Structure 1
Amino acid sequence: MAKKGVLLVNLGTPDSAATPDVRKYLNEFLMDGRVIDINPVSRALLVRGVITPFRAPKSAKLYKEIWSAETGSPLLYYSVRQQELLQKRLGDEYMVELAMRYQTPSIEAALDRLKAALVEDIRVIALFPQYASASTGSVYEKVMRLVGQWPTIPNISFINSFHDNPLMIEAFAQNAQKHQPEQFDHVLFSFHGLPQRQLVKCDHTHNHCLKSADCCQTLTDVNKFCYSAQSYDTARLIAQKMGLKKEQYTVCFQSRLGSDPWVQPYTSVVIEDLAKQGKKKLLVFCPAFVADCLETVYEVSVEYDGEFKQHGGEHVQLVESLNDNPLFIDALEGMVKNR
């Protein structure tokens, strides 16, 4: 009997924490027209001439802080674990492959393995809970471009987003319980940032995005594909699962790059404000990530913790990502089978 194919795709990670590998990764990542959505010539000059020559050595130092001699990149390690656990869960009827949008294992190689196995269809799941053109959109564009070159194209289906998946929400809330949430003064839901212009591009009505201060805070038919609106919805659902009131948590956005305005409020600003208000202990979720990575393990646990202490706070506690939580594997299984 023909197998069903499953392709899990995460963002990517350098092959090592060495500067040349980090530079190679950053070049591929930032040269994607959906990531830095400007004129291709300007993008090449900016990325290869300005960003990567300066950013690669700095990023390499940070990657060395989170790199394990035994398991390497945490993002790759947990992505492999997710693939292995999902394969075990689905059984021999399915073939589960893992790829990274940038670097290895590549999408092209994973698709070639599925093609060689003569799978009858392929379910593609980009491992980003909230849809963004620069992440999910880029993955699906790449998959369609590659498969579009095949002489015979199997049935292919995609998951646009899973920001409100009940099992994922429960897994995040479960991960928080080990830290005794009631012991913290405030909870942050810190999502990866995006330039505001990318949000505006996703507003097909051209009459909603950033037209009001609260345009993203309720999910509607107009903003249902908006990364920021989906982020607020994810935070609302996790907070609801934990029994948090609105005044007990804040949604914010981290990891901004460059001088253009990004989605606000910025996590660094929120952390400073909370410290000045006298908050001492913060519990921080990063629900844009399904596997721990540089942005969670280092940016939150080290950089934001340090900034918080500088302004009078005492401790920033990261809620671990979904990683190999069985509830998340349950969620992935449901996404595969509920076709």
Structure 2
Amino acid sequence: MSKKATGKIGVLLVNLGTPDSPNTPDVRKYLREFLLDKRVIDIPAVARYALINGIIAPFRAPKSAKVYKELWTERGSPLLFHGLDLQKKLQAMLGDRYHVAFGMRYQSPSIKSALDELQEQSVDRIIVLPLFPQYASASTGSVQDKVMELVKDWWVIPSINFISSFCDDPGFINSFAELGRQHMAQDNYDHVIFSYHGLPERQVLKGSDKGYCQLGACCNTYNKRNKYCYRAACFATSRLLAEKLGLREDQYTVTFQSRLLKDPWLQPYTDEVLKTLPAKGIKKVLAFSPAFVADCLETTIEVGEEFREMFMEAGGEKWQLVESLNSEPMWVEAVKEMVLQY
């Protein structure tokens, strides 16, 4: 017998995932689940399985474990506890009419456990918010795919809305801009870098409006034809942030980080760009990571530490990471407004 409708609205927040611990076996387990996703590494299944299980996971896990140990805190993984903090604060802000659940695409807490929680609450409908501002098949698309795979076996499937992108959402932009302004008030920076997680160029082209995407000037505007183009969304976020921060076009650069394997990825690459800046007289850089709404390995370690070391070795004087939104009050308010719109 089906449960009575409660009138409640379920909200499912989803982020990428994190190992259960920074130990090598847990990191290896996480890498395998993550990289075996056909939307993440989009090559034939047999080749993907051999590559991940035979090469990447065995050799990369010990190295990644060392980095995760640097990232880990008393509360555990930042990506996890910031997500739980956001869930708790959003629940308090939305009130009893809503039930907010949090899950990870890979590892724990799983999307399944979060959906089970919402099913137990007998919600009338579900709003799914993958916490990736710019749509990509490998992130947002994968979350949507997993949610649909899980709910297809429910006897009663409620209405489900997906918030597929919020790259230009005013609350998101204002929240990041405010964090940037706090740093700019403390020092005079020569340049701003907006560093986004990279994607293979082929993945961007696969999802493009045929004949429109050229991986170039087509991203100078954000419109109906490139609404789901990751590169166009990254440039749209950057333009809006630059406008809020009062930056001219020559005062900021959009770059891409975290590439994997040898195929061409979105360019320019952050690590290559930053090495050229000191020779141009750019000695102080403020770095944003607007593809991430919670601090994680890619922000704290890669942008905050590794890129700073590269920049200083190249002759720079200061490299400052702008922290992610985490569960800042302005960001919680922005998420609430996005939910209410749906």
TM-score by length of 1: 0.97
Q: Distance in 2 between matches of 1:171 and 1:151?
A: 40
Is the 1:278–1:312 Cα contact (8 Å) retained in structure 2?
no
Deviating 4+ runs (over 6 angstroms): none
Offset of residue 230 of structure 1? 0.4
**1:148 equivalenced with 2:146 (yes/no):** no
Offset of residue 221 of structure 1? 2.2
Partner of 2:194: 189
Q: Distance in 2 between matches of 1:25 and 1:324?
A: 24
Q: Distance in 2 between matches of 1:288 and 1:98?
A: 19
Offset of residue 180 of structure 1? 2.0
**1:101 equivalenced with 2:108 (yes/no):** no
**1:77 equivalenced with 2:81 (yes/no):** yes
Partner of 2:14: 9
Q: Distance in 2 between matches of 1:133 and 1:252?
A: 20
Provide Cα deviations, 1:287-307, integer angstroms capped at 9, x if missing partner: 000000000000011110011
Offset of residue 215 of structure 1? 2.5
Partner of 1:332: 335
Identify which of 244, 259, 266 aligns with 1:263: 266
Provide Cα deviations, 1:108-145, integer angstroms capped at 9, x if missing partner: 11111111111111110000000000000000000001
**1:118 equivalenced with 2:122 (yes/no):** yes
Partner of 2:36: 31
Q: Distance in 2 between matches of 1:275 and 1:14?
A: 36
| Corresponding residue SS for 1:129 | coil
Partner of 1:312: 315
**1:208 equivalenced with 2:226 (yes/no):** no
Partner of 1:162: 166
**1:89 equivalenced with 2:75 (yes/no):** no
Amino acid across the alignment from 1:165:
D
| Corresponding residue SS for 1:330 | helix
Offset of residue 192 of structure 1? 0.4
Q: Distance in 1 between matches of 2:32 and 2:156?
A: 32
| Corresponding residue SS for 2:226 | coil
Q: Distance in 2 between matches of 1:59 and 1:152?
A: 41
| Corresponding residue SS for 1:118 | coil
Partner of 1:226: 229
Amino acid across the alignment from 1:103:
Q
Amino acid across the alignment from 2:66:
K
Q: Distance in 1 between matches of 2:96 and 2:57?
A: 43
The alignment of Structure 1 onto Structure 2 pairs a total of residues equal to 336
Offset of residue 330 of structure 1? 1.1
Partner of 2:3: none
Partner of 2:54: 49
Q: Distance in 2 between matches of 1:222 and 1:119?
A: 34
Offset of residue 186 of structure 1? 0.4
The two structures, once aligned, show a CA RMSD in angstroms of 1.0
| Corresponding residue SS for 1:251 | strand
Q: Distance in 2 between matches of 1:238 and 1:63?
A: 30
| Corresponding residue SS for 1:250 | strand
| Corresponding residue SS for 1:215 | helix
Provide Cα deviations, 1:31-74, integer angstroms capped at 9, x if missing partner: 00000000000000011111111110111000111101x21111
Q: Distance in 1 between matches of 2:83 and 2:75?
A: 12
Q: Distance in 1 between matches of 2:304 and 2:336?
A: 30
Offset of residue 335 of structure 1? 1.5
Q: Distance in 2 between matches of 1:259 and 1:276?
A: 28
| Corresponding residue SS for 2:183 | coil
Amino acid across the alignment from 1:143:
V
Provide Cα deviations, 1:223-261, integer angstroms capped at 9, x if missing partner: 111001000000100110011100000000000011000
Q: Distance in 2 between matches of 1:335 and 1:271?
A: 35
Q: How high is the sequence identity, in percent, across the aligned residues? A: 56
Offset of residue 322 of structure 1? 0.5
| Corresponding residue SS for 2:116 | helix
TM-score by length of 2: 0.96
| Corresponding residue SS for 2:217 | coil
| Corresponding residue SS for 2:224 | coil
Is the 1:188–1:283 Cα contact (8 Å) retained in structure 2?
yes
**1:133 equivalenced with 2:137 (yes/no):** yes
Identify which of 62, 66, 69 aligns with 1:64: 69
Q: Distance in 2 between matches of 1:100 and 1:258?
A: 25
| Corresponding residue SS for 2:277 | helix
Q: Distance in 2 between matches of 1:153 and 1:180?
A: 48
Provide Cα deviations, 1:140-171, integer angstroms capped at 9, x if missing partner: 00000100111111111110100011111111
**Structure 1 portions without partners, runs of 5+:** none
Offset of residue 334 of structure 1? 1.1
Q: Distance in 2 between matches of 1:213 and 1:129?
A: 21
Provide Cα deviations, 1:302-321, integer angstroms capped at 9, x if missing partner: 11001111111122100010
Deviates more, 1:219-228 or 1:16-25: 219-228
Offset of residue 331 of structure 1? 1.2
